[in-house]
Chain A
Amino acid sequence: MDRPAGYNAMELMVCCAARLLEDGAVVAVGTGVPCAAAMLAQKTSAPNLVVMFEAGGVAPKLPTMPVSVGDSRTFHRGLMATSMCDVMETCGRGLIDYAFLGGAQIDPYGNLNSTLIGADYARPRVRLPGSGGACDLATLCWRVIVVTNHDRRRFVEHLDFRTTPGFLDGPGAREAAGLPPGTGPYRVITDLAVLGYHPDTCRMEVLSLHPGVTPDRVRAATGFDLAIPEPVPETAPPTAEELAILRGQVDPYRYVIGRAPREVLEGSSGSA
């Protein structure tokens, strides 16, 4: 695919995610892009960003990319190594601002499927991991950011299984179902665009297209009606400083930024 020279889609996605995290916020992350984004934010605009992992790691000084959200990197020189219940209960008390998630399918209301592909629950075509901590984090954290590849297989009108709540069936549905008021989907960052949700309809809409991406291309990669503003803003490309820190300090071995975008999040939930 055509990209302006100098950076790849994965590097742009990490930068977009990092820019969403303000200094002093608390974020629950998984491995991969979310971890890289949090590390980049800490080294640029948000030095006091607090990172938590669902297995119990709190505020580590990540020496390398973790392989697992429970491995020893997730509390390396951290401030606490605690339990899953402690982290989830911290979410439940309203202390965690952002959660990063992924999924095999996402619908217009930001609901996620990471459980199965197919119509028959007892004999699925593909059994996926299930919720992991995703449903918990999407219920209890204030804002959910999804990072995923953008194609018609993932962006679907109807999920095969609603593992994790977005805005459910639209305005007011989260509150009616008993989810904590004021919580919900916030942004979707893909290899084509940055997306948000319309405040009245709760449906996904484009906020900016990445450099070189046309509205038709995004529509073709989306399995539901997608509002695109006219004229459409362009995503700011990575700055030289962001790229230098990302490549030199955050991910020097290119575990995340070296992955071709199509391989990312393949059939896995964003957190174990």
Chain B
Amino acid sequence: MIASEAGDGPLFLDPSADRARAHFRTKRRGLADKVMTVAEAVRAFVADGDYLAVGGFGGDRIPTATLHEIVRQRKQNLGFAGHTATHDFQILAAGNLTGRGRLLAKVDAAYIVGLESRGLSPHARRVMESGEVDVCEWTNYALAVRLRAAASGVPFLPARTMLGTDTIRRSAAKVIACPFTGETLVALPALFPDVAVIHVHESDRFGNARIRGTTVADLDLARAARKLILTCERLIPDDEIRREPDRTAIPFFCVDAVCEVPFGSYPGNMPYEYFSDEDHIRTWLGVERDPAAHRAFLDRYVFGVSDFNDYINACGGLERMRQLRARELLLDGGR
């Protein structure tokens, strides 16, 4: 039998659809030019204490440039949706236990700390084992459904997952009976992040955006977030969007900032553009074993650079990007 009828984990955000509606009513929705730098976007739209959610899949199509900027601007006490979070979580964890306060304060955990087959992040482990971050357990699907509930404008959606586990006991979900069949279901509260960051292939200056490859949970995330920062590989003309409107994945009225950042998912994979830089990620994981080496690494690659382009150059610049593009397009024989 299940351990309890409801999880006793903390619910970090208000699931009220009506209060979200009241916010969205005030959101600027007209066609406005939203192009700015990443530093400007983070200053304007990421506040201390905000709850943050990130698009992509951990190390695939992730908004690396914005994550670095959030760490560089020393944002404090953020909440975070740990949905398929791998290298993105590793970056944010660099804001904890490195002498710069506490960036992460609350984490909804579906997948954190690990980098899939690459192993666990020693520093993310230190942060999550320290007790300085409040945690609530979920699953990848459960967090995706929570975003879909928010995107749908309802306070919860039912799903069949987590039943019979400690995962639900440490979640903030509730067990309910289907009003039609009587079957056991799990009620998952809507998740309206204060701010979301998503990296896409192309966007116009208003925020009409195109994504190639898998969308993970990003179509719902874009619609669920109270504020949304988009970074894109390329800005494209509005006429181009209007020529093929069926390709628009995220509409302008969800978007607050548009930042053009070529190679913006590096060292993550960007489908059809460049593969992940496994050497750089392995180096990052390696230095984390030694806190002093980790701090020196962060000083060099995150705090000591002025913007993401500096970081790209520190990592090998265009020549390295050319190699990763060859790898993505299998021009290197798939090695």
Please list the residues of chain A having a beta carbon within 8 angstroms of any beta carbon in chain B.
Answer: 30-32, 53-57, 63-64, 67-72, 74-75, 81-85, 88, 92, 111, 115, 121-136, 139-140, 161-165, 168-169, 173-174, 176-180, 253, 266-269, 272
Residue of A nearest to B129 (CB): A127
Contact A177 B2 (CB under 8 A): yes
Contact A272 B140 (CB under 8 A): yes
Contact B119 A266 (CB under 8 A): yes
Contact B335 A55 (CB under 8 A): no
Measured between C-beta atoms, what is the minimum distance from B172 to chain A in Å? 14
The distance in angstroms between the C-alpha atoms of A115 and B107, with both chains bound, is 14
Which residues B131-166 have CB closer than 8 A to chain A? Answer: 131, 137-142, 144-145, 148, 159-166
Contact A128 B141 (CB under 8 A): no
Contact B161 A84 (CB under 8 A): no
Contact A72 B269 (CB under 8 A): yes
The distance in angstroms between the C-alpha atoms of A129 and B120, with both chains bound, is 8
In the assembled complex, B256 has its CB within 8 A of some CB on chain A = no
A134 proximity list for chain B (CB < 8 A): 139
Contact A179 B129 (CB under 8 A): no
Question: Which 7 A-B pairs give the minimum distances between C-beta atoms?
Answer: A178-B184, A70-B57, A56-B214, A177-B164, A129-B114, A136-B141, A132-B111
Q: Chain A CB within 10 Å — which of B130, B162, B275 has the most?
A: B162
* Apart from A72-B272, A132-B140, A174-B164: 4 A-B pairs, beta carbons within 8 A: A53-B214, A55-B216, A136-B142, A267-B114
Instruction: Name the contact of A88 in the complex, choosing from B2, B56, B144, B183 (C-beta under 8 A).
Output: B144
B215 proximity list for chain A (CB < 8 A): 56, 81-83
Residue of B nearest to A177 (CB): B164
Residue of B nearest to A92 (CB): B160
Please list the residues of chain B having a beta carbon within 8 angstroms of any beta carbon in chain A.
Answer: 1-2, 56-61, 82, 84, 86, 109-114, 116-120, 124-125, 128-131, 137-142, 144-145, 148, 159-167, 170, 175, 183-185, 212-220, 269, 271-272, 275-276, 278, 328, 330, 334-335
Contact B116 A115 (CB under 8 A): no
Q: Chain B CB within 10 Å — which of A135, A163, A178, A180 has the most?
A: A135
Contact B111 A131 (CB under 8 A): yes
Instruction: Name the contact of A126 in the complex, choosing from B125, B164, B212, B334 (C-beta under 8 A).
Output: B125
A136 proximity list for chain B (CB < 8 A): 139-142, 161
SS of A interface (majority):
loop
B330 proximity list for chain A (CB < 8 A): 63-64
The distance in angstroms between the C-alpha atoms of A174 and B175, with both chains bound, is 15
B276 proximity list for chain A (CB < 8 A): 67-68, 71
Measured between C-beta atoms, what is the minimum distance from B189 to chain A in Å? 16
Instruction: Name the contact of B113 in the complex, choosing from A75, A128, A180 (C-beta under 8 A).
Output: A128
Say yes or no: A115-B137 contact (C-beta < 8 A), given A70-B57, A163-B165.
Answer: yes
Contact B2 A84 (CB under 8 A): no
Contact A122 B131 (CB under 8 A): yes
Measured between C-beta atoms, what is the minimum distance from B306 to chain A in Å? 30
Q: Chain B CB within 10 Å — which of A67, A72, A81 has the most?
A: A72
Instruction: Name the contact of B216 in the complex, choosing from A70, A173, A268 (C-beta under 8 A).
Output: A70
B159 proximity list for chain A (CB < 8 A): 92
Residue of A nearest to B175 (CB): A178
